[in-house]
Structure 1
Amino acid sequence: MSERDVMEYDVVTVGAGPAGLSFAIRLKQLKPELSVCVIEKASTIGAHILSGAVIEPGPLDELLPGWRDNPPPVCVPAAEDEFWHLTRTGGTKFPVIPPGMANHGNFIVSLGAMCAWLAPQAEALGVEIYPGFAAAEPLFDEAGAVCGVRIGDMGVARDGSHKPGYTQGIDIRAKVTVLAEGARGHLTKQLVRKFGLDAESDPQNFSIGIKELWQLPAGRVKPGKIFHSFGWPADTKTYGGSFIYHLDKDRVAIGYVSGLDYRDPNYQPYEAFQQFKHHPMVKPLLEGGEILSAGARAIVTGGWQSLPKVEMPGALLIGDTAGLLNVPKVKGTHQAIRSGMLAAEHLAAQDAPASAGFDARLRASPVMAELKKVRNIKPGFKKGLWFGLLNSAWETATAGLSPWTWRCKPDWSSLQKLDEAEKPRRDYVERTLPPRDRLAGVYFAATEHDEDQPVHLKVANTDICISQCAEEYGNPCQRFCPAGVYEIVQDEQGKRLQINAANCVHCKTCDIKDPYQIITWVTPEGGSGPNYQNL
Structure 2
Amino acid sequence: MNQEESVYYDVIIVGAGPSGISTSIKLKQLAMAKKIDISICIIEKSSSLGSHILSGAIVDITSIKELLPNLAIEESGLFTIVKEEKFLYLRQNKYFNIPSFLLPDCLKNDGCYITRLGHLVEWMGKEAKTLGVDIFTGFAAIDLLYNSKDEVCGIKTGSFGLDREGKKTNYFQPGLNILSKHTVLAEGSRGNLGKKVIEHFNLSKGKNQQKYAIGIKELWKIDHNKSRPGLVIHTIGWPLYNKANGGAFLYNMNNDLVSLGMIIDLNYSNPWLSPFKEFQSYKIHNLIHNILKNGKRLSYGAKSITMGGLLSLPKLYFKGGILIGCDAGFLNSSRLKGIHTAVKSGIIAAESIMESMLKDSIIKNNELVIYSKKFKESSLHAELKKSRNFKQWSSKHKLISLLMTLLEQKILAGHFFWNLHSKKSDNSFLNPANSIDKIVYQDPDNKITFDIESSIFLSNIHYEKNEPIHLKINNTEIPMLINLRNYAGPESRYCPAGVYKFIKDENGKYKLHINSDNCLHCKTCDIKDVTQNISWTPPQGGSGPIYNGM
TM range (shorter): over 0.9
Question: Map of 1:441-460 to 2, 5 A cutoff?
Answer: 441-460=455-474
Match of 1:173 among 173, 179, 201: 179
Unaligned runs of 5+ residues in structure 1 are: none
Instruction: Supply the distance in 2 between the matched residues of 1:457 and 1:399 (Cα, whole angstroms).
Output: 44
The 3 A distance-change label for structure 1 pair 451 and 467 is farther
Q: Distance in 1 between matches of 2:243 and 2:459?
A: 30
Q: What is the deviation of 1:180?
A: 0.4
Counterpart of 1:88?
92
Q: How much has 1:160 moved relative to structure 2?
A: 1.5
Deviation at 1:387? 2.5
Equivalence for 2:140? 134
Q: Which amino acid aligns with 2:263?
A: V
Q: What residue is the counterpart of 1:486 in the other structure?
A: 500
1:195-223, Cα deviation, whole Å (9 max, x unpaired): 00001211110000000110112111101
The residue correspondences of 1:341-356 to structure 2 (distance < 5 A) are 341-351=347-357, 355-356=367-368
- Listed one character per residue, the Cα deviations across residues 130-186 of structure 1 (whole Å, up to 9, x for unaligned) are 000100101111111111110100010001211121100111111100000000000
Report if the CA contact (8 A) 1:278-1:431 is conserved.
no
- Is the partner of 1:238 in helix, strand or coil? coil
Counterpart-to-counterpart distance in 2, 1:134 and 1:197: 23
For residues 70 and 399 of structure 1, the distance between their equivalents in structure 2, rounded to whole angstroms, comes to 32
1:116 equivalent to 2:122? Answer yes
Trace 1:496-535 onto structure 2 (pairs within 5 A): 496-535=511-550
- The 2-side partners of 1:186 and 1:16 are apart by 14
1:416 is matched with which residue: 424, 428, 431?
431
Residue 88 of structure 1 aligns to a residue whose secondary structure is coil
1:278–1:429: 8 Å Cα contact kept in structure 2? no
User: Does structure 2 conserve the Cα–Cα contact (< 8 Å) formed by 1:237 and 1:385?
Assistant: no
1:375 to 385, 388, 400: 388
Is the 8 Å Cα contact of residues 72 and 117 (structure 1) preserved in structure 2?
A: no
Bigger shift: residues 324-333 or 73-82: 73-82
CA distance in 2, matches of 1:364, 1:40: 30
Q: Distance in 2 between matches of 1:258 and 1:107?
A: 23
1:215/1:291 contact within 8 Å kept: yes
| Aligned 8 A contact 2:293 2:448 in 1 | no
Q: Secondary structure at the match of 2:27?
A: helix
**Equivalent of 1:312, from 305, 310, 318?**
318
TM-fit CA distance, 1:406: 1.7
Cα distance between partner residues in 2 of 1:157 and 1:268: 33
Could you say what secondary structure the match of 1:172 adopts? strand
Cα-to-partner distance string for 1:49-101 (whole Å, 9 max, x where unaligned): 00011111111111111111685543111111110000111110112153112
1:128-207 correspondence to structure 2 within 5 Å? 128-207=134-213
Alignment check: 8 A CA contact 1:207 1:260 kept: yes
CA–CA distance in structure 2, aligned partners of residues 211 and 250 of structure 1: 17
Q: What's the counterpart of residue 24 of structure 1?
A: 24
TM-score by length of 1: 0.97
The offset of 1:309, in angstroms, is 0.3
| Aligned residue number for residue 403 of structure 2 | 390
Shift of 1:383: 2.4
Judge which range, 65-74 or 324-333, deviates more.
65-74
Alpha-carbon distance change, 511 to 427 in structure 1, aligned in 2, over 3 angstroms: closer
Secondary structure (helix, strand or coil) at the match of 1:257 reads strand
Determine the C-alpha separation between the residues in 2 that align with 1:99 and 1:371. 14
Distance 1:333 1:456 in 2: 28
Question: In 2, Cα distance between the equivalents of 1:427 and 1:281?
Answer: 22
8 A contact 1:88–1:427 mirrored in 2? no
Q: Deviations over 1:235-269 (max 9, x none)?
A: 22510101111011111000000000111111111
Q: 1:42 maps to what in 2?
A: 46
Q: Equivalent residue of 2:153, what SS?
A: strand
Q: How far 1:381 sits from its partner (Å)? A: 2.3
1:7-22 superposed matches below 5 A: 7-22=7-22
User: What per-residue deviation string (whole Å, max 9, x for no partner) do you get for residues 88-134 of structure 1?
Assistant: 11110112153112212111001110000000100111100000010
| Structure 2 residue identity aligned to 1:41 | K
**Structure 1 residue 274 displacement after superposition:** 0.6
Aligned with 1:143: secondary structure?
coil
Q: Distance in 2 between matches of 1:101 and 1:315?
A: 34
Q: Aligned AA for 1:9?
A: Y
* Letter matched to residue 361 of structure 1: K
Q: What is the aligned partner in structure 1 of residue 454 from structure 2?
A: 440
Runs (5+) with no aligned partner, structure 2 = none
Between the aligned partners of 1:11 and 1:500, the Cα distance in structure 2 is 36
The alpha carbon displacement at 1:304 in A equals 1.1
Distance 1:24 1:72 in 2: 21
Equivalent residues, number: 533
Task: Report the aligned-residue RMSD.
Answer: 1.6
Residues 143 and 155 in structure 2, CA contact (< 8 A), matched pair in contact too: yes
Report SS of the residue matched to 1:389: helix
| Correspondences of 1:236-385 after superposition (within 5 Å) | 236-351=242-357, 355-357=367-369, 358-385=371-398
Q: Per the alignment, in what secondary structure is the counterpart of residue 281 of structure 1?
A: helix
Q: Is the 2:53–2:117 Cα contact (8 Å) retained in structure 1?
A: yes
Q: Is the 8 A contact 1:378 1:388 kept in 2?
A: no
- Distance in 2 between residues matched to 1:283 and 1:360, nearest whole Å: 49
1:477 partner letter: E
Tell me the residue number matched to 1:54. 58
1:405 aligns with 2:423: no
Corresponding position of 2:489: 475
Cα separation, 2, equivalents of 1:459 and 1:131 = 28
Q: 1-side partners of 2:67 and 2:4: how far apart?
A: 37
Counterparts in 2 of 1:237 and 1:291: CA distance versus 1, 3 Å:
closer
